[in-house]
Amino acid sequence: MKITNGRLDTALWVPSPNFGPRPDTDDISLLVIHNISLPPGQYGSGCVQRFFCNQLDTAQHPYFETIADLQVSSHLFIERDGAITQFVSFDDRAWHAGQSQFCGRDNCNDYSIGIELEGTDTEPYTDAQYQQLAVVTECIRQHYRMITDERITGHEDIAPGRKTDPGPAFDWTRYRASLVADDGRPEE
């Protein structure tokens, strides 16, 4: 797995129109973990992909009418079976964080990479998702060296009170244990 020209070579490329230029492409320094499922709590529908591409059929589910006007995206989406889709180049600004702040700095979209896991706050994520997330994280950290252990966070942490994902079902201990520490040793 490698990144070339802002794209992960193993991901399915489905370009989203919901992105913009980064203020500084040398300042990619944060990784944000999210969750999403559409309709909520349902998996494998293809609706997340359509949502990120502004192609969601609002007649398909009543919930879709409440999000129809939103224009959002993420860099990556990891499905329950581990399949990875990329919607926005890492070199561009995906619209995943919204109003957000990390360590006193606003507008996390400007300097972060967003990864959406197919899931909910309360249902455990799959082994395949944890495995892929760990491999993808290491690839991203090798390419974007300013993303250190301390600069990996959840959406709930950069938008507290507004967002709750990836939620209590996400096992941060398991995820962090699967990563290699900044000094090259497995994390404790």
Of 161 and 86, the structure prediction assigns the larger pLDDT to 86
Residue 185 confidence (pLDDT):
42
Rounded-to-integer distance, Cα 168 and Cα 166, Å? 7
151-179 pLDDT tens trace: 999 999 999 989 989 999 999 999 999 99
Give the integer Cα–Cα distance in Å for 91 and 19.
Answer: 10
pLDDT tens for residues 9-23?
999 999 999 999 999
Given the residues 65, 79, 116, 156, select the one marked as catalytic: 116
- Alpha helical stretches, state H, 44-91: 47-52, 62-67
Q: How far apart are CA 69 and CA 101, in angstroms?
A: 24
pLDDT tens figures, 104-159: 999 999 999 999 999 999 999 999 999 999 999 999 999 999 999 999 999 999 99
CATH architecture of 3-177: 3-Layer(aba) Sandwich (3.40)
Please confirm, yes or no, whether 116 is among the known catalytic residues: yes
* Every domain of the chain and the residues it spans: 3-177
- Cβ pair 5, 87 in contact under 8 A: no
